Structure 1
Amino acid sequence: MMGADTRLEELGVSGLGEVDEAAFSRLVERHRRELHVHCYRMLASFEDAEDTVQETFLRAWRRRETYQGRSTLRAWLYRIATNACLDLLAKCRPEPATGGEVRWLQPYPDRLLDELPAGDADDPEAVAVARETIELAYLVAVQHLAPRPRAVLILRDVHGWPAKDVAELLGDSVNSVNSALQRARAGLREHLPAQRQDWTGGEPDAGTRELVRRYTEAGVATDIAGIAALLRDDVRCSMPPTPGLHIGRDAVVADWTASGFEGMAGLRPVLTYVNRQPAVAFYHWREQEGAYLPLTIDVLRITGGAITEIVTFHGDRFPGLGLPERLAADGAE
């Protein structure tokens, strides 16, 4: 999961204090995407992660004299980024999520995840961890952990940091870090589907693609019964930042019916991938503008040939996901 890294000896300097601002920027920018994804795992908000990466680079520049090469530049930046996340959480979200929903959850487009360094691409377990720990089910579960155990879990289980390095970052003992990790793993299991294979999407197969096609067609037709036939009995449905988590097919169908979804005309879909999961962006025809404008995007989790979870985001997420701002009547962007 890590890309190329840099040590001081490779730069021919004894400290970052000898590097000018332009050179410093080039050094840290190569780590922007992976730092952004790290902060996103900590915060579950794409926008907060962006702000935190900027804060990380600002802190790194101000503290560049403190980096003497005892660790890699990447590790040093991860330490700063993690602490910046903890500072933001202490200020803005002192309490973890509760009740199975995360109202500040935002999607992460696959096109940006593809920018991550190849890292351990030949290690199937590492690839699986990278994919699974960016899925929305994982992010929601992690947000139910207190910030410091959350940081321990992500650094140890996602990035593979040794306990002593995590302890140094947090100013804690190795025993405390190991204890926090066990508590965090237990807390994570409480909020994840029962089996690991039940919450990983994996590479989409023909069955998954067919299910997405049927969901898309039923969605365009606003055929609630058709969609319901594709849902697992214990399906979960949420729409952050709107409050409310609906669990079970009957509850989900009742919510859609009450919202007036059935009979809505003039929808057009665009298929995409978000958080390594299939997603369907729906556009709604607006006569006044003479175009289809963003409505919602449904991110799907599919298990055993049925839809297990739908997380719906509002149309204001479309630009950040690289989706067109409008579709013309003839379907052109």
Structure 2
Amino acid sequence: MPTEMDTTGLIARARAGDHTAFRDLVQGHSHELQVHCYRILGSLQDAEDALQETLVSAWRSLAEFGQRSSLRTWLYKIATNRCLDMVRAGSRRPRIAPPVPEAALPDPTGAGDTPPWLEPYPDVLLDHVVDQRPGPETRYETTEAISLAFVTALQLLPPRQRAALVLRDVLGYHAAEVAQMLDATQESVHSALKRARATIDSHLADSSGTGSRRPARQPDTAAEHRLVARFTDALERADLDALIDLLVTDVRLSMPPAMVEYRGIESARRVFAAVTFRPGRSYRVVPSRANGQPAFGVYLADPYASVHRAYCVLVITTAGDHITAITCFGTNVMTRFGLPRTHPGTE
């Protein structure tokens, strides 16, 4: 990250048209800005687009940067408002599709609140984010603020509430700074935060499986590793009972872009019996990570070739040694995780 003296020199060179200087100026912020856009938009593809538009806007308006705030804050303001413009433009209309076209699913228990545009965020991209010290107003821990449940809950908020909560409670900016970044009053920011926090905390308590706002889990613990191994084994052995034993009683299953939800262990059993463990099916599973949580690339055996083909990506939410939620994503996200389209048919 450039020092203050380096930054001043880079700004002067970039204003004079030096593209290399501009790249050096912003490259230390690019990854965290992409995560910021992802939180607000819920889609990695949309976040990448928003980041590129943010950098183009910053390049074009660099002459207007008066250095009254830090470069980082100025970039966050541009990124936030670009994301809000994208949401308000309606460019991210729901994309509804049958979750498993080749099989009839049991009737869902409800419509579900997982937005159809939701995508997982590979942990490998989080490894590139520069560790920034949270601001004084941070309310949510870093791991919680990238979790699938948190990002889903953010999508339930109106755009301005969403942005205010992320800027204040995740990044830790003061209310006065948030108001300036959103071109709003401090009073309106406080009002937006009050409503947003109530929605977020209620959703997190409901999705945690513990009744608490924060999920009872720690990432990368030995218990989680054991759970990942047991989950992988149950899928590859097509052992329905073993898989069901890993679930909490009120487990939630969702599968964007379909806005349906299966809640409860009996609903989960019906879904897995009707679809996942249909006679003649076999799988290979490749563990991964997304949103700070365990994830899995799942491959279905091709009956006509000695190979398993990409089937889906599963992301699980855990509490201790049990699974509280499973979210199933289509094969279109697999390349983001570096997962191949096929898996060998034999070990």
- State the TM-score, normalizing by the size of structure 2: 0.86
Partner Cα separation in structure 2 for residue 13 and residue 235 of structure 1: 51
- One of 101, 115, 121 as aligned partner of 1:102: 115
- One of 162, 166, 170 as aligned partner of 1:154: 166
When residues 112 and 200 of structure 1 are mapped into structure 2, their CA distance, relative to the original with a 3 A threshold, is farther
> What are the Cα deviations for residues 273-311 of structure 1, in whole angstroms up to 9, with x where unaligned?
111101122112225554322111211111132110001
Question: Counterpart of 2:183?
Answer: 171
Q: Is 1:259–2:257 an aligned residue pair?
A: no
Question: Counterpart of 1:20?
Answer: 18
Q: Is 1:234–2:232 an aligned residue pair?
A: no
Deviation of the 1:327 alpha carbon:
2.2
For the residue of structure 2 that corresponds to 1:263, the secondary structure is coil
Q: Is 1:62–2:60 an aligned residue pair?
A: yes
Structure 2 gaps, min length 5: 95-110, 206-210
Q: Is the 8 A contact 2:286 2:296 kept in 1?
A: yes
Q: Is 1:142–2:154 an aligned residue pair?
A: yes
- One of 99, 114, 119 as aligned partner of 2:132: 119
Q: Is 1:11–2:23 an aligned residue pair?
A: no
* Backbone CA RMSD of aligned residues: 2.6
Question: Counterpart of 2:106?
Answer: none
Structure 1 gaps, min length 5: none
Partner Cα separation in structure 1 for residue 67 and residue 220 of structure 2: 42
When residues 225 and 23 of structure 1 are mapped into structure 2, their CA distance, relative to the original with a 3 A threshold, is same
Deviation of the 1:324 alpha carbon:
2.4
Q: Is the 8 A contact 1:272 1:279 kept in 2?
A: yes
When residues 259 and 5 of structure 1 are mapped into structure 2, their CA distance, relative to the original with a 3 A threshold, is farther
Deviation of the 1:322 alpha carbon:
1.5
Deviation of the 1:15 alpha carbon:
8.4
For the residue of structure 1 that corresponds to 2:84, the secondary structure is helix
Amino acid of the residue matched to residue 166 of structure 1?
V
When residues 68 and 200 of structure 1 are mapped into structure 2, their CA distance, relative to the original with a 3 A threshold, is farther
For the residue of structure 1 that corresponds to 2:197, the secondary structure is helix
Partner Cα separation in structure 2 for residue 174 and residue 53 of structure 1: 27
Question: Counterpart of 1:42?
Answer: 40
When residues 291 and 64 of structure 1 are mapped into structure 2, their CA distance, relative to the original with a 3 A threshold, is same
Q: Is 1:243–2:281 an aligned residue pair?
A: no
Q: Is the 8 A contact 2:168 2:175 kept in 1?
A: yes
Deviation of the 1:137 alpha carbon:
0.7
Q: Is 1:189–2:206 an aligned residue pair?
A: no
For the residue of structure 2 that corresponds to 1:137, the secondary structure is helix
Amino acid of the residue matched to residue 195 of structure 1?
S
* Aligned pairs, number: 325
Question: Counterpart of 1:131?
Answer: 143
Question: Counterpart of 2:208?
Answer: none
> What are the Cα deviations for residues 115-145 of structure 1, in whole angstroms up to 9, with x where unaligned?
1112339x9x979711111010111111111
- One of 200, 209, 214 as aligned partner of 2:225: 209
- One of 85, 105, 108 as aligned partner of 2:83: 85
Amino acid of the residue matched to residue 250 of structure 1?
E
- One of 285, 288, 297 as aligned partner of 1:269: 285
